[in-house]
Chain A
Amino acid sequence: MHTTDKNDEPKSPAQSAASAAAAPSGSSPGLNGGLSGANGDGIAEVELTEGAQRLIGLHLKQLYQQIVAEPVPDEFLRLLDELEQRERET
């Protein structure tokens, strides 16, 4: 149960593999940089509680679904109409 600080917290092989894959040697620093990124600092690997995960999931879905539920702006439909029209004329 209690792990001493000598034993690194147990990581599933899948997790380690995923972390390794996340940092390919040639990855563009422009998009990946700026974050703690590097693994093994312990903090980045802390497992979230179920409650925290659930809250984040709820927030995310709520935010997203609210936008999904909005009517599609006319300009997009008009654009599709135009594209279709233009094609018929050619």
Chain B
Amino acid sequence: MTVGETPPTFRDAIIRSMPNLRAFAISLCGNPHMANDLVQETLLKAWSHREAFVPGTNHKAWLFTILRNTYFSGLRKSRREVADIDGDAAGRLVTLPDQISHLEFKDFQKALAGLSADQREALLLVGAEGFSYEEAAIVAGCAVGTVKSRVNRARQRLATELGLDQEAVAGKVEPIAAFKHPIAASLPSSS
């Protein structure tokens, strides 16, 4: 093969997406060492299958798809769903904006790692990486509605884990709480 020159744009596109690809890998599997392997494997696969990339489509999404497929096929093999929580990962963040400093960041990472892999993936693709629901659905290989549902449940689960949902719960509980009102409580129960 003498004409095997890779167009510079392919390599450039990989390099451009690398920081995000790496962030996705680390956040998805929760373990920087495992994430490194994942990124490496992704790069090898992307390189050897580069003619499978359709020009004009989203190159970053293509790389993300390879990475998540690699991760999930590994998961299926190991039957391990909860991400490893690595101390290094938890300790990597030092400064936080004031608005969120009242929440322990470590707690957030732990809660994120405690999500099902499906939910964590959806939340990362949409909420962190900023893919549209449609793009995320293509990456994850599922329906758009499935992505939405996973993102919603991931948020709810995180909120519960972090004690952020009290307001929402209080709002919901109000009608039931009315029964505990002194006047209601003083009424003779009919049954």
The answer to whether A32 touches B118, judged by C-beta atoms less than 8 angstroms apart, is yes
Nearest-CB distance from A38 to chain B (Å)?
11
Contact (A18, B167) CB under 8 Å given A46-B156, A73-B36, A75-B36 = no
Return the chain B residue nearest A51 by Cβ: B167
Nearest-CB distance from B11 to chain A (Å)?
6
A11 CA to B39 CA, complexed, in Å: 40
Nearest-CB distance from B115 to chain A (Å)?
8
Give the total number of A-B pairs whose CB atoms are below 8 A apart.
170
The answer to whether A60 touches B156, judged by C-beta atoms less than 8 angstroms apart, is no
Contact (A59, B108) CB under 8 Å given A2-B174, A32-B116, A48-B156 = yes
Contact (A18, B159) CB under 8 Å given A44-B153, A67-B23 = no
A46 CA to B127 CA, complexed, in Å: 19
Residue numbers of A with Cβ under 8 A of B are: 2-5, 9, 14-15, 17-22, 28, 30-32, 34-35, 44, 46-49, 51-53, 55-70, 72-73, 75-77, 79-80, 83-84, 87-88, 90
Q: Can you report 6 residue pairs joining A to B where beta carbons are below 8 Å apart? A: A2-B174, A31-B76, A35-B153, A55-B164, A59-B100, A84-B6
